[in-house]
Amino acid sequence: MTTSSEDVLLQVPQVRYKKGDGTLFLMDQRLIWMVENRDTVAVSHSYADIKSQKISPEGKVKVQLQVVLHNGVSSTFHFTNRNGLQAQLADRDKVKEMLQTLLPKFKRKVDRELEEKNKLLSSNPALLQLYKDLVMTEVVTSEEFWVQHASQYTQKQKQQPQDIGVSGAFLADIKPQTDGCNGLKYNITPDIIECIFKTYPAVKKKYVENVPTKLSESQFWTKFFQSHYFHRDRKYAESKDLFTECGKIDDQEMKRDIQTGVDDPLVNITEFEDKTLDEGYGVANEKTNVTSGTVSQAMIKRFNQHSIMVLKATKKQENSEAEAKNVPKQNGNVSEEKPDDGHVAKKQRIQSKITYEDLDSPSASSSGGPSLSLSKVERYLHGPMPDSNVEQLNPNEASSVLRGVLQETRQWQSRHPSTSLVTPAAAVGALGELSPGGALMRGFQEQSLAQLVPADIENEVRNLYLALCELLSHFWKCFPPSTPTMEQKAVKMHEALHRYHTAKLKPFEDKLIRELSPLSHHLTKHLNQLLNAAYQKFSNWQKIKNR
């Protein structure tokens, strides 16, 4: 609170606040205003609390600055420098600029996280419900909630946006549209912009230099498309354009590439020819003179350049990653290994061009992987059978049993006619048992009970289940505990479950007993069972641990 431990960055006397004269001080962590001639601080706002500042418009007589906090409170300071309007304006502008530099430093972190959390909660009703049940009733602390229970939601946000490749035709796909009066309209999306930056790093540099300070974004792109850099003619030497440098840089790169050439021993670029018929068909080998400067040559050059740059755009990342990995391992052995690799690779490539695996004889490798070794196959085919209950009949007994059965079946011929079946009483009894509510149809009674439950109670029960499920999943994940942290977590979750029991479940049960007495026991029986199973597991584990 005292000003001695903080640095005063700016002190502005003659500032009125709420009809009192005083001095405004800007410290390094906060902003304070003290009443004239007194030592106590009347108003203190730390920069982290300040959301924004406002200044009164230019023409006004009263020169004011308003500071708006996150929680909506605002404080207005009136600059009343006796030297006149100009001095007041100067004072206010000084304060304003200082605040402008200071506020961003404090603003960012706290603000953004809270906003993200609020957004998550409002967009996921399930998460909101969990939050209400667990955090507001203090079953789980707020930090634990965000770390454990909401982790899958927060991670979704942090997922890196995917990298996309550069397709060869991305510039051609822009497809300019004519807008009637001799102009062209180009639609570019962020994807296309990213592709342009990846392929033409020189353009990216220009963008970073010029936008937003010198040119606006749309102006930059307009210039880009207008420049000869983009268009075919490419006679850029004359015109002074933002992009002439880019053209020169590209040319230099091309020259360098041509000099390094292609590494591959099987490819010989200088011998590439443009013939349709192969050797031996009677066409002599003609070397055309290279005529430079024609439009077609320029176009071919541009196509080649574009293709080279597109390919390079994808290779750049790979190389930087590969280098980062290789550097710690290899020291001086790189150059020795290379020629050997070159030889082996060449042989492999030639080999792959002359063999076709379709034409090879079908190999025995189609035996399809590792084989299964089973010790007693019958065990898989029958259920578990008790061994010793099989009675062994000797043949005499068997034949006597057979004779008995045959005699019985002969007697079936002289059965009662099929009109008299079961006694009526027995029939009615069976019907009764099979209708809903009878001895054999146990479930229906409770189904009708379920319809008696009002919808809001059902919703509450559902929310209870949801919260309990979340807690239980974290609880059961800790078993079997392999590390000390897991053991601690198990203990913590156990306590959380107890807290949940007392904070949410018991009040709900009490409420039910008061309102709907017949159902109260039924609805929460299962929830209690779930909790008891968890408690049981925990106590078993404790017992084993303490042994």
Partner 1 sequence: MVDEEEQKEYRWETGYEKTWEAIKEDDDGFLEASVADIIQRAKRKRQAQKQGNSKLGMMRHLYVILDCSDSMSSQDLKPTRLLCTVKIMENFIEEFFDQNPISQMGIIIMHNKRAEKISDLAGNARKHIKAINNLKQTSLIGEPSLQNSLEMALRALKLLPSHASREILVVMGSLTTCDPGDINTTILNLKSEGVRCSVIGLAAEVHVCRRLANETGGLYNVILDDCHFKDLLYQQVDPPPAALTLESNLIKMGFPHQMSVEGTEEPLTMCMCHVDSTDEGSKLNTGGYYCPQCYSKYCELPVECRACGLTLVSAPHLARSYHHLFPAANYDEITYENQTVICFACQKNFSETDKQVYRCPNCTKIFCINCDIFVHDILHTCPGCATNLSTFQIAHNTTQ
- What residue ranges bind partner 1 (CB under 8 A)? 125-126, 162-167, 191, 314-315, 317-318, 366-372, 374, 377-378, 380-381, 442-443, 445-447, 449-450, 453, 458-459, 461-462, 465-466, 469, 472-473, 475-477, 519, 522-523, 525-526, 529-530, 533-534
User: Which region holds residue 180: left if phi is over 0, alpha if psi is between -120 and 50, else beta?
Assistant: left
Residue whose CB is less far from partner 1, 164 or 350: 164
Nearest approach, Cβ of residue 346 and partner 1 (Å): 18
Specify whether the CB–CB gap between 401 and 393 falls below 8 A: yes
Q: Is the dihedral of CA 280, 281, 285, 291 positive or negative?
A: negative
Shortest Cβ distance from residue 503 to partner 1 (Å)? Answer: 19
Could you tell me the smallest distance in angstroms from the CB atom of residue 22 to partner 1?
Answer: 56
Residue 306 CB, nearest approach to partner 1 (Å) = 15
Residues near 477 by beta carbon (within 8 Å), at least 6 away in sequence: none
3-class secondary-structure state, position 389: coil
List the Cα angle 532/534/537 in 5-degree steps: 110
Least separation in angstroms between residue 162's CB and partner 1 is 5
How many other CB atoms are found less than 10 A from the CB of residue 79?
Answer: 25
Looking at this protein, which amino acid is placed at residue 459?
A: N
Nearer to partner 1, 258 or 449 (CB): 449
Residue closer to partner 1 by CB (options 315, 346) is 315
DSSP 481-530: --SHHHHHHHHHHHHHHHHHIIIIIHHHHHHHHHH-HHHHHHHHHHHHHH
Separation of alpha carbons 467 and 497, rounded Å: 10
Contact yes or no for 133/121 (Cβ under 8 A): no
Provide the β-strand partners of residue 485.
none
261 or 454: CB nearest partner 1 = 454
- Asked if 17 and 76 touch (Cβ cutoff 8 Å), the reply is yes
Pick the closer one to partner 1 by CB: 152 or 392: 152
Q: Which is nearer to partner 1, 54 or 462 (CB)?
A: 462
The Cα–Cα gap between 524 and 501 comes to: 11
Closer residue to partner 1, CB minimum distance, 124 or 154: 124
Give the residue with the Cβ less far from partner 1, 110 or 434: 434
- CB within 8 A of 74, min separation 6: which ones? 66, 67, 68
CA distance 211 to 208: 6
Query: Which is nearer to partner 1, 234 or 501 (by Cβ)?
Result: 501
- Nearest in space to 31 (alpha carbons), one of 99, 119, 110: 99
Minimum gap (Å) between residue 143 Cβ and partner 1: 23
How far apart are the C-alpha atoms of 294 and 297, rounded to whole Å?
Answer: 5
Residue 491 tokens read as: 């203990």
Q: Which is nearer to partner 1, 290 or 327 (CB)?
A: 327
CB of 273 to partner 1, least distance (A): 25
Give me the least distance between CB of 325 and partner 1, in Å please.
Answer: 11
Please, what is the minimum distance in Å from the beta carbon of residue 524 to partner 1?
Answer: 9
Distance CA 326, CA 123 (A): 45
CB of 225 to partner 1, least distance (A): 22
Question: Least distance (Å) from partner 1 to the CB of residue 134?
Answer: 14
**Spatial distance between the Cα atoms of 394 and 406, rounded to a whole number of angstroms:** 19
Contact 497, 476 (CB under 8 A): no
Closer by beta carbon to partner 1, 292 or else 366: 366
- To the nearest whole angstrom, how small is the minimum distance from the Cβ of residue 353 to partner 1? 13
- In angstroms, rounded to a whole number, what is the distance separating the alpha carbons of residues 30 and 383? 78
Between 20 and 481, whose beta carbon lies closer to partner 1? 481
Strand partners for 68:
52, 74
